[in-house]
Structure 1
Amino acid sequence: MPNLRAIETFVKALEGGSIASAARQLGISPAAASQNIARLERELGTRLITRTTRSMALTAAGERYLARVAPVLDELEKAQSDVSLVHGELHGRLRVACMAAFGRHVLAPLLPAFTQRHPRLALELLVTDRDVDVLKEDVDVSIRYRDVLEPGMSVRPLAAVPRILCAAPSYLERHGRPQVAEDLLQHACLLYRRERDGRLMRWPFVRDGRRTDPPLRMAAIGSDIDAMTEFAVAGGGIVWAGSFIAHRYVQEGRLVPLALKAGRKGQLQFEDGTLDFFACFRDRQYVPAKVRAFVDYLLEVLPGHPSLERLPGRAG
């Protein structure tokens, strides 16, 4: 009977697209992962995978074997997760992917209390704005905002975070304070370009109820919203950022939240809106106990979190 570790390595390699991916998921070296698969093939007496320097593909026997063992391995993982909850202790690895700024400012400070509740759970945090393949990178749960949700993804709402316009006191002293949305066209604007797809995050201007994209004086564009916020703190312009990013700077007096008055009919309006964050799962049918516990914890601690509340803006 082939050992379970060898079977697990084989399945993870096919799910992740490479032996190196299986090794990362299992916490072993690529050489050890390759040896596991070779051992499995010897015990079965047949080749399961054909390998080149750049790719791997299943043989006919490998396809039949994978179809049989993958569901069994999946059920074993689910059973282990459920049993751990019955005994009152979660264990194993929990890999969480999170958008970078939310991970830095909100998630990371909340995690020590969660790990204290579940000391046998090994938490791994992947903080990045790049496109994460949850299957190949063996991510249990990812935290994303609405604009980057994938179609068909199983999600659970976590928080609606206000976004606000901010500028440093030094900038406002030099250039004055915008009163209405039209005034923003004459100010130095700091914009964010999304790393995952290169999309420039346009500001939410509306005219007569319809979205519009007026020409802005772009003082700088950056792929990191924290860097753009620091740019604003140094007096470089006006930034539009989530409250969880701006909160500390506002508390310290280094940024001033701006409130714009409603313009007349036909004039530009600025609709701040919210960043809506969701917990996203890779399996629509089954959510492991460790993932349910993690998401339930976030739903417990996020409401009323001071950095997620709307900051009082000032105009004039």
Structure 2
Amino acid sequence: MDILGLINSYIRVVETGSIAAAARALGMSAAAVSQSITRLEGHLGVRLLSRTTRRMALTESGTRYYEKVRHIPRDIDLASQAACIATDPQGPLCVATTAAFGRHVLAPLMPAFKTAYPRIDVELISTDRRVDHRLEGIDVSIRIEAQLHDGLIARRIASRPFVFCASPDYLERAGVPTTIEDLKQHACLVFRYPTDGRFLPWNFIVDGKRIEAKVNPGFICDDIDMLAQIAVNGGGVARLASFIAQPFIDSGRLLPLFGPDNRSPASAESEPMEIYACVAERSALNAKVRAFIEFLEAAIQSPSPTRSGALQTVSNVGA
């Protein structure tokens, strides 16, 4: 009898909340997962789950058993990593990333990572929603600062500037904003977080202080690449990460705003995008996760290395 397999099925059922969800996570049929639970209950001689056609709940024995065994899969993985510490990092690695960063930065780097670590098998999840590392089997996620939430272990790996920009046609028609206050008179292309409906704030740094610009949303979207296309086609002023904006600026399809080297005489500096690698707990920093984080940090060459590299537990994260 594969006791470890039965235990793993039970843990997934408890953590996902249903046999059907656990089956999807495990790549098994619901009938096979249900049979695993029945076999485990028979082996233990106790009822772990109270099941009806409408709901499922842990019994008292099931709760106690889950608390004792829920760490077993993680402990086995850590033991395997320790046993192979002298060899190359290996095994499956599930990475969740924000959609834009994944598309424009992470995906182009993956062939080089695979060449460097051929025994690591990467699965990428591209999403701007809030992810649950434990329930979704995610080893590490790449988030911007505004998307961090309590309890994550976060390591800052890079800082990238935001660029305020608009098309030449739009600026000729609507004029060039020369102050932060001028943005209220322009069509602003605003990104809305899919997770909670907040707008991504348009923050500037002026004399060392953060100032949030008041904007007039001309278009609102939860996909930053769509906003970039709206800006390119004359829809208004956009606030884009540099890795999205720069190709359009280089081709002349967008013009940067604000700062001493731009069309505008304003000297306000856009607050940068801070990028973090996150894990659910420190014990998740096994060899393959460390290899991925260190590779990514080196590849994107954080311009402020003295501030990166330290792990911090996220708590009381503000907007």
TM-score by length of 2: 0.84
Deviation by residue 1:254-291 (Cα, 9 ceiling, x = unmatched): 11112246xxxxxx984411110111111134422211
Taking the TM superposition and a 5 Å limit, the aligned residue runs for 1:111-190 are 111-190=110-189
Given that residues 231 and 237 in structure 1 are in contact (C-alpha distance below 8 angstroms), is that contact kept between their aligned partners in structure 2?
yes
Number of the residue aligned with 2:246? 247
Report the Cα offset of residue 88 of structure 1. 2.2
SS at match of 1:299: helix
* C-alpha spacing 1:60/1:82, structure 2 compared with 1 (3 Å): same
Counterparts of 2:108 and 2:54, CA distance in 1 = 40
Deviation digits for residues 143-200 of structure 1 (CA, Å, limit 9, x no counterpart): 1111121123211111111001011122223233223323323222111111110002
1:153-232 aligned within 5 A:
153-204=152-203, 211=211, 213-214=213-214, 216-232=215-231
Give, as a single letter, the amino acid of the residue that structure 2 aligns with 1:257.
P
Deviation at 1:304, TM superposition (A): 6.5
CA distance in 2 between partners of 1:170 and 1:3 (Å): 67
Partner of 1:129: helix, strand, or coil?
Answer: coil
Q: Is 1:61 aligned to 2:61, yes or no?
A: yes
Aligned mates of 2:201, 2:297 — CA distance in 1: 30
Extract unaligned runs of 5+ from structure 2: 261-265, 304-319
CA deviation string 1:126-146 (max 9, x = no partner): 111112122211111111111
Local SS of the residue matching 2:70:
helix
User: CA-atom RMSD, angstroms?
Assistant: 2.6
State which of 288, 293, 296 in structure 1 corresponds to 2:294.
296
Q: Check conservation: 1:188, 1:237, Cα contact below 8 A.
A: yes
1:18 aligns with: 18
**Deviation digits for residues 28-79 of structure 1, max 9, x if unmatched?**
2333222222222223232211224454322222223223323333321211
Which sits farther off after the overlay, 103-112 or 46-55? 46-55
Q: 1:32 to 1:140 in 2, by over 3 A?
A: same
6-15 or 55-64, which moves further after superposition? 55-64
What is the CA deviation profile of residues 196-215 of structure 1, one whole-angstrom value per residue up to 9, with x for unaligned ones?
1000223226889574553x
Letter in 1 for 2:250: Q
Map of 1:6 onto structure 2: 6
The structure 1 segments of at least 4 consecutive aligned residues displaced by more than 6 Å after TM superposition are none
TM-score by length of 1: 0.85
How many angstroms apart in 2 are the aligned matches of 1:204 and 1:35?
A: 55
Q: Post-superposition shift, 1:4?
A: 1.7
Match of 1:258 in 2: 257
Q: 1:212 to 1:62 in 2, by over 3 A?
A: closer
Partner residue of 2:70?
A: 70
- Between the aligned partners of 1:304 and 1:4, the Cα distance in structure 2 is 42
Match in the other structure for 1:105? 104
The residue identity in structure 2 corresponding to 1:140 is D
User: In the alignment, residue 274 of structure 1 is paired with which amino acid?
Assistant: P
Instruction: State the alpha-carbon separation in 2 of the partners of residues 162 and 113 from structure 1.
Output: 25
Check whether the contact 1:2–1:44 (CA below 8 A) recurs between aligned residues.
no
Counting matched residue pairs gives 298
Distance 1:219 1:73, change over 3 A: closer
Post-superposition offset of 1:2: 4.8
Aligned match of 1:51: 51
Quickly say closer, same or farther: Cα 1:281–1:174, change in 2 above 3 A: same
Identity of aligned residues (%): 44
Contact 1:178–1:260 (8 Å) recurs in 2? no
- Point out where structure 1 has 5 or more consecutive residues left out of the alignment: 262-267, 306-316
Q: 1:204, 1:270 within 8 Å by CA — same for their partners in 2?
A: no
Amino acid at match of 2:16: G
User: Shift of residue 233 of structure 1?
Assistant: 0.5
Aligned to 1:190, what secondary structure does the other structure show? strand
What is the CA–CA distance in structure 2 between the aligned matches of 1:167 and 1:123, rounded to whole Å? Answer: 37
Distance 1:53 1:213 in 2: 53
Question: Does 245-254 or 134-143 show the bigger shift?
Answer: 245-254
Alpha-carbon separation, structure 2, partners of 1:207 and 1:160: 18
CA distance in 1, matches of 2:210, 2:276: 27
Work out the CA distance in 2 between the residues paired with 1:186 and 1:58.
57
